[in-house]
Structure 1
Amino acid sequence: MAETEQELLERLGGPVAVADLVKELYERVLADPFLAPFFENISMDRLQRMQYEFLVAALDGPVSYSGAELTAVHQGRGITDQHFAKFCGHFADALEAKGVASTDVNLVLSRLSMAKDKVVGTTNTDG
């Protein structure tokens, strides 16, 4: 793993800053009429806790993701590539609003992109 990726979580401000980013992310997502319907009747406290765990773990942090397998959680919800891209856009905006450098925003988004197939229900048929 490259040094830039090893230190990414620390450059974001560590796990505490990620918790703040998750709150900011969901404020943006819930204000978006394209994405908000996916979160109706959902425990936002639980969702934000799972998202926090997922992100810190994806950034090689000291937290393990304890939630359900991503494919099972998102299956049948009608989430498309466009929904995933919009969600990631809101996350990028939240990162930028916190002053995160564009190179680090791109590194974070590359980590998130590894979960895309599981979230939107597509599979990689090339291996």
Structure 2
Amino acid sequence: MTYPFPVRPWPDIIEFYEWLLDDGATFVAPMLSVARSVVVEGADSQIGGHTSMHDLVVTSLPVGSAVPLDQVRVALAPTPGPRAEFRLSRPGIVRISHYSGVGQDDEIERPASEVLPLFWRFMIEKYGVHPARDLA
């Protein structure tokens, strides 16, 4: 299965999340933190991203016009149970998911305060992309 991955420049992604945050959408702070970290840690030439609603979607570079469905998504963790289809979220909890395209998907939910180490763990494990410094 393939689909286009619309890579968006990291400064644009950062600007989008800053705009949302300035408009009172404080729930986007973890995604903004990740986007800023990608640039600060020098990984912006190794991983590309785009936004899907408020989620941050990342894959390795270069990206062709159609790629296997291999992506990492940083999002608010939805409320479990029968109302999850409404995308209700639990404040302060993020979910990082890896969709491999071959059925070996992976996802973890943690407090938003742990988003950067968790994100970089996924980048290292899934794409071999390391931050410029140790974030532990």
| TM-score normalised by the chain length of structure 1 | 0.30
| TM-score normalised by the chain length of structure 2 | 0.28
More strand by share: 2
